[in-house]
Amino acid sequence: MAQRSQALGIQTPYNYGTMNPIPAQGTYDFIPGAGMAQGPEPSAPPISGYEGTTFGDGGGKYFPPPPDLVPDRGGNAHPEHTDWSIPAITEDEAQEALVQYAASKCCYSSAPAKDMLFQDLHSFNTYRYRLETFTESRSSLWKTEPYTGEAVDSCLYSTPPLPWDMNVEVPEMFKDSVKRVRVPCTSSVKGCPVCACSGRRPCSTCHGCSREQCWVCNGKGFQFSDQRCSSCGGIGNIMCRTCSGMGTTACTNCKGKGQLLQYIELQVEWKNNVFEHVVDQRTGFPTELFKEVNGKKLFVDEQYMVYPVVDFPDNDINQASRNAVQQHQTRFASTARIVRQRQTIELIFLTKVEYEWRGKSHSYYVYGNEHRVHVEDYPATCCCTII
């Protein structure tokens, strides 16, 4: 049997406790297309470089990248900054933003926005620093699928490539992605443990009896008090519709084949890990609103591994960059491959507008490239009644 199995490229089952082949008694005869005798479920064969790989869809075995895949920092240590100029919003832009805001609210009058008298514009423009670290991690899982007689890519033919030796194309940068690849030379055939290699299981409807309760008379044998059921002829049961009276159905685990092809699947996951810091200007503005808007990019630095920013006019940004680069290096370098990094500094527009309307002072904020408006107490609202 062992010779036939090797000729077909099929692994002999192993006992992991002794690393010896399981005795012939009670094993499966792995001949594609032939019937298989019932016996103990064979274990996955040992595959060099993938020891510890488990079955199932849970967390697989992760493989840290080898040292030669950790890139050195390249490019400029301290990129030159070309433009630190800070533009300001105009009164016309501030007024138009409030007009649009009022128009978007069904209960807000546009009168305050159109008839306002400007008192002052306070610019509290702030900065947002972001570091993106695009990483790649690799893990393995044993997978099974119904065996349909195809050629078996066994490790008897060749040595399987190690997890980080497999060439997997990197997808679009800085976007999360997952690819699943079958590892060559890791396949083998085993008997289906669910149906004991028969390809059939007892029907879940009739429990192997081939008949089920009549659905017309609910097993009573009569449709009315004195009329025999026309469906079951009065016996109260009919041939099982699920299994067509056979008492068994095709095994869902092996799709009726009785055999499973097992192999190692390499799961490659790319993830964009983001560190973000917004300088707090202590203006009373709810800073969580900044997540809804974009800013003006003042600085973009993209390399395999970036250097911390050191000469930005606001030292809070310099400190945030140092913390981010160190944090990501410590967190990811030993567990995943850092594919690329990108750091940006954005100017986020934030202006507090003070104005007068009908003899009273009011204020609102304009923020972001989109000129969003934040108002704590709009002076002209009404209550709508829905009937």
Whether 45 and 23 have beta carbons less than 8 Å apart is answered as: no
Query: Is position 96 within any domain?
Result: yes
Residue 148 · residue 35 · CB < 8 Å: no
pLDDT at residue number 302:
94
Check pLDDT > 50 for residue 315: yes
Question: Residue 284 falls within a domain, yes or no?
Answer: yes
The residue that leads in pLDDT, 383 or 24, is 383
What residues pair up with 143 in beta bridges, in sequence order? 263
- Check whether 167 has a pLDDT greater than 80: yes
Q: Does residue 165 lie within any of the structural domains? A: no
Q: Has residue 124 been placed in a domain?
A: yes
Q: Does residue 127 sit within a domain?
A: yes
**For residues 186-215, average pLDDT:** 92
pLDDT of residue 76: 57
User: 19: which 2 tokens?
Assistant: 């690393």
Domain-embedded: residue 313: yes
d(CA 244, CA 250): 12
CA distances from 66 to 61, 63, 81, 164, 165 (A): 15, 9, 35, 8, 10
The total domain count for the chain is 1
Higher pLDDT, 15 or 69: 69
- Write the Ramachandran bin of 85: left for phi over 0, alpha for psi from -120 to 50, otherwise beta: beta
15 or 104, greater pLDDT: 104
Decide if 31 is inside a domain: no
Asked whether the predicted pLDDT for residue 231 surpasses 80, the reply is yes
Work out the percent of the chain whose per-residue pLDDT is above 90.
Answer: 47
**Closest-CA residue to 138 (of 172, 108, 165):** 165
Q: pTM, whole model, 2 decimals?
A: 0.70
What is the reported pLDDT for 61? 85
The answer to whether position 366 is within a domain reads yes
Alpha helices in the chain (DSSP H): 2-7, 91-103, 111-115, 315-332
Give me the residues paired with residue 223 across strands: none
Evaluate whether 361 touches 285 at the Cβ level (below 8 Å): no
Lowest mean pLDDT of 1-10, 77-86, 210-219, 303-312, name the range: 1-10
**pLDDT value of position 222:** 87
| Domain of residue 356, residue span | 91-133+272-374
Mean pLDDT score of the chain: 82
State yes or no: pLDDT of 101 exceeds 80: yes
